[in-house]
Amino acid sequence: MSESLTPSAVGSGDDATGSPTVDDAAADDSATDDGAAETATDGEDGTGDAYTFEDVSVVMGTYNEEAAIGTVLSDVERVTDGRAEVVCVDGSSDRTPEIAREHGARVIEQEPQGYGVAVREAILAPDRPIVVTADCDDTYPMEALPEFLEAINAGADVVSGDRLYHGASAMPAFNRLGNHAFAAIASLLMAERVHDTTTGMRAYRREVVEDIAWTENTGLSAELLIRPLMRGYDVRERPIDYAERLGETKLDPIEGGAAIAKSIVTVCLEERLRRL
């Protein structure tokens, strides 16, 4: 479809973040008071063509993921029929970038500086209208890509994979507990129920990621949910499966968990102050 997007007011997402109980067509379509959520609704009202995988970039930070990257990129290729573009921001010292290029991915080299520094560059690099983030460790189901695209075409600005809905039994227990706690804290501070703030798998309309100045590193995933939600974008959670990681984790659970908790509090307070 064309690059031109039809602006129109988009719902606040009040109800939509309460998925899975909420149908994706049920988003509140009232205009929001801060005026931030002026985005496209292609495919929603029949006036625009629906986005296809030709409009999608799947982006990820990759850091020594040679055990998983071949599987992840083959899955993207299979599920999108080779039509989605893949962008990897890579800091590896192993064969990860070579494998990525063999699969046709665009590789941007970057010194390893943490998850958020890599993912921020990855989401801003492509120019396709829909950006999907993923980890490169084979934990996220690329099979969910069609459903994510469908939700965007139904009017969502951000579609966020909720790993905890199905139990996330493959996730280490400490991380699972932490993720429930992060969701509870964020829900309290936002006065809006969210279920999984730190998921790595989301789809975004390009305007959303371009409209906001992202500040967090380890906490970027939470920030990428909280700021759009608190600015009135239509954010919808969708349950996804979550698999055991291939290869070594890049995150220290204690240090990373503390950084994420701090990011959630900081970002929620900043967004509240911004509304005053």
Ligand X SMILES: Nc1nc2c(ncn2[C@@H]2O[C@H](COP(=O)(O)OP(=O)(O)OP(=O)(O)O)[C@@H](O)[C@H]2O)c(=O)[nH]1
Q: Which of 74, 42, 95, 1 is nearest to 86 (CA)?
A: 74
Interatomic CA distance for residues 172 and 177, integer angstroms: 9
Q: How far is CA 170 from CA 164, 221, 243, 245, 276, in A?
A: 10, 20, 5, 8, 42
Tell me how many degrees the CA angle 267-137-58 measures, rounded to the nearest 5. 70
- Which tokens is 161 given? 């994979």
14 vs 137 by CB, closer to ligand X: 137
Residue 137 lies near Mg ion (rule: CB under 5 A): yes
Closest approach, Cβ 60 to Mg ion, in A, equals 10
Tell me how many degrees the CA angle 65-228-146 measures, rounded to the nearest 5. 55
Three-class SS of residue 7?
A: strand
Residue span 232-271 as binding mask against ligand X, x where in contact by CB under 6 A, dash where not: -------------x---xxx--------------------
Residue span 121-160 as binding mask against ligand X, x where in contact by CB under 6 A, dash where not: --------------xxx-x---------------------
In 10 A of CB 193, how many CB atoms?
Answer: 15
Residues paired with residue 86 on neighbouring β-strands, in sequence order = 58
The interface partner of residue 62, options being Mg ion, ligand X, none and the CB cut-off 5 to 8 Å by kind, is: ligand X
Residue 112 lies near ligand X (rule: CB under 6 A): yes
The interface partner of residue 65, options being ligand X, Mg ion, none and the CB cut-off 5 to 8 Å by kind, is: ligand X
74 vs 249 by CB, closer to ligand X: 249
65, 96 in Cβ contact below 8 A?
A: yes
Question: Contact with ligand X (CB under 6 A): which of 11, 43, 61, 178?
Answer: 61
The interface partner of residue 114, options being Mg ion, ligand X, none and the CB cut-off 5 to 8 Å by kind, is: ligand X
Residue 115 lies near ligand X (rule: CB under 6 A): yes
Return residues touching ligand X (CB under 6 A).
Answer: 60-63, 65, 89-91, 110, 112-115, 118, 135-137, 139, 175, 200, 245, 249-251
